[in-house]
Each structure stands twice: as C-alpha cells, then as structure tokens.
Structure 1
C-alpha cells in the first residue's frame, strides 16, 4: 500500500485569544493520497483554512501529528519548515501576496532562486507562459488585474514543481468568469505536474471537480465523500 502524501492523526489546533484559549481543530484524522484532488468545504469558521494551514506547516498543530511526505511537520523547526515548503509545497492564497517591487517574472523566479535552481528565470517564464502571461513578464503587480495577479501566484506556486499544492479560496477575490478561468488553470497545473491538490472553497461547483470532498463543522470532520463521476 502506498503511503499517503498527507496524513493527520488526532491533529489539534488551539490559539490564545484575549478571552482565553480557543480550540479551532479537534482531533482530525485524515489521509490524502498522491495526485488526489481534495476540496475542503464547510461554513465560515468551521476550520477549513486552519486545517489547510497545518497541512502546510504555516500553522503548527498544537496536538497530534501532521505528516507530509513522511516528515512530521510538528517536529520541524521554523527554518526546516520553510525549506520543506520551498522544496515540496506550493501555496496559493485568496490574497495574492506578490512582492510589489518585483515584476511578474521576478515574483515567480525568486522562490526558484532560493531553492538553488540554476534555470530559475527560464522556468519562471515557462510557468507564466502556461498561465497565459507571456506578454506580462516585465509588469509589476500594480500594473496587473486581479485575475492576472492570481495567475502570477499560480505560476509561482507551480514553478518549483511541488508534490503538494495547497489553495485557500483562490477565486474568492475574483469575479465569476475570472474565477472559473483561474480554477481551470489550477487544475491544469495540477495535471501537468502530477501534484496532490488540496483546496478550500465555498463554491459547490468547484468542490465537485475534486476527487473527494471533506466537509468540516466546528473544527471536526463532518462528512467525506467521493465526487460524482
């Protein structure tokens, strides 16, 4: 049996707030297979984004284990986590998180350079071309539309050819047609690189495109289902 790419056992997340400690995730048990597409759904405040964040080591689980590609993310220090994400994960947020003083090409090439890729700019240009931005390589984020900025973010996430792609409401700031185009590109990048894709979404039609849907409620797994053929 092939080991899961992501495996959570009794994973918990609690954060300190002014009113005291807040329990966000309650003992999550979950396995996600290689090349699987998984949609995390549920009402606002159910813990979807928090679950995605602990999968990526962007939030550290306060209990249990979070295994990614055989590494326990709860045991890695911050520097080791950053190196692991740089090499193995691509993350796309609702807010694009582009560096405003860098061109589209530089935004995509920078993580590749940090990872030591000798062909960073060639790969960055190839990924930007793949998302339809070959004519925008030298433009800064302020010169790009929201949809174009999200395409740069997609290219940046995919350029290191990560084993795991995580996306948190990647179409949340975009209009309907632009959002649909972005999702087509995201699934296309997943298909092209064979990555495991986990995405948070409120859109039923987007979740239905995934191999599996996982619904959360009050920080617990509510339902797990296979997408309809």
Structure 2
C-alpha cells in the first residue's frame, strides 16, 4: 500500500543520535539534514565509524533519534512508539542487513512468507514463492538457512525485503559478507528488484562500484554530512 504525498519520501531535519556508552554519552549523529525523493537511489558512504549504518537505522526507525525529526511518507517517525514504528516498517519499508538475519528454524520459503503473513496477506506463500523464483532460488525454497551458501542466504533476505512491495528499501552493506562474484550478483539483483517494484533505495556501502550505480551519493564523516566530499563527487 503506497501512501500518496508530494513531499520528499524521506526527510531528516537536524536528526541526531546519542547512545550511552561505558564512558558516558556518545554522540553518533550530529544534526543531519537530508531529503530523499521518491524513486531515488541514494548511497551512504564514508570511513568506518562515520555513522552510516546508524543513519540508515534512524531512517528506518530501528534506532530512535535523540533529537530532530524524521518524516517518511508524510508520517513523523520520531513521534511514533515502538509498536507504531513496527507497523509502519511492515507496511512501507524493507530492510536488508549485511548478516542476512534469517530465521534458522524456517525454510527459505517460510522466511520470505513471514512478513507477508504478519501483514495479513492471504496469498503469502504464493507471493513468497514468486519472489524466490525472481532471485533464482525456486529449487531452494524448502532448504533451511544453514543449507544455503552466503550468496543464497542474501538472496533470500532480498526476497523477504521486497515481497511486501515496500515504498522504501534500506540496505546495510548488502554485499559486505560476500565474495566478489556473489557480491556482483547481489548488486544486480538489488537494482533489478528496485526497478521491478519501483521502491526508493537507500544503501550503506563500501563498494565503489555499488556507489557508482546510485543516483546520488552522500558522504559521512564523524557523524556529520561531509558536504565538501558530497559536492566534489557530484561535480
């Protein structure tokens, strides 16, 4: 279900994130201002520890911002409680993690069908089967994660993320745990699925070839947008 809005599909206004560490409060993100348009593919890059993954988690409501506002599809995520955020993600967002996060006691088919079942889709397993076929895993639908290679597990994770037809697809280093050949295959699949479903894609990546395929790249450094680096890349 797509919510109609003329505003940016995602907007961050002075978004900040601080966490309690062993030595006190640690400032992770500092007053991030960023807008993402519908259908855009945005890459988040920067050195390790720059806050890329934290920014992605804040965008998806997986981490609660400590300050500022985050608006997605016209809805204020910072005003939602955990239950409301979970429902919003279920209906409008797909998330792909570097480490797959598949449920080990479920088959590939069951892993993909689970979010569809939770959303109340009567055809959950039919849609899950179609998505597995789309990522080339028709013959592996009945296998458990431990019986799949890393590349196959990431394909299942991709199928699970896109099966509910999300408006926004978030990917955190989707090729980070894969070898070069599998990483390239996952890159192609990611963009194919984006095109097929028309989702807005936001991804964290260290892979220059993946960043180069994005419509726009944003650089982070020390929890801040590196405007100079971002502007240089755009020139």
TM-score bracket for this pair, using the shorter chain length:
over 0.9
- The 1-side partners of 2:147 and 2:72 are apart by 37
Q: Deviations over 1:44-75 (max 9, x none)?
A: 00000000000000000000001111111111
The question of whether the paired residues in 2 share the 8 Å contact of 1:168 and 1:199 is answered with yes
- When the two structures are superposed, what TM-score results if normalisation uses the length of structure 2? 0.95
- Give the 5 Å matches for 1:133-148: 133-148=137-152
The question of whether the paired residues in 2 share the 8 Å contact of 1:210 and 1:227 is answered with no
Aligned pairs, number:
228
- The 1-side partners of 2:39 and 2:130 are apart by 22
- Give the 5 Å matches for 1:1-229: 2-223=6-227, 224=230
Shift of 1:2: 3.1
- The 1-side partners of 2:156 and 2:14 are apart by 36
The question of whether the paired residues in 2 share the 8 Å contact of 1:42 and 1:48 is answered with yes
Structure 1 outlier segments of 4+, above 4 Å: 225-228
Structure 2 spans left out of the alignment, 5+ residues: none
**SS of match in other structure, 2:193:** helix
- The 2-side partners of 1:227 and 1:136 are apart by 41
- The 1-side partners of 2:216 and 2:85 are apart by 27
Shift of 1:227: 7.6
RMSD between aligned alpha carbons? Answer: 1.3
Structure 1 spans left out of the alignment, 5+ residues: none
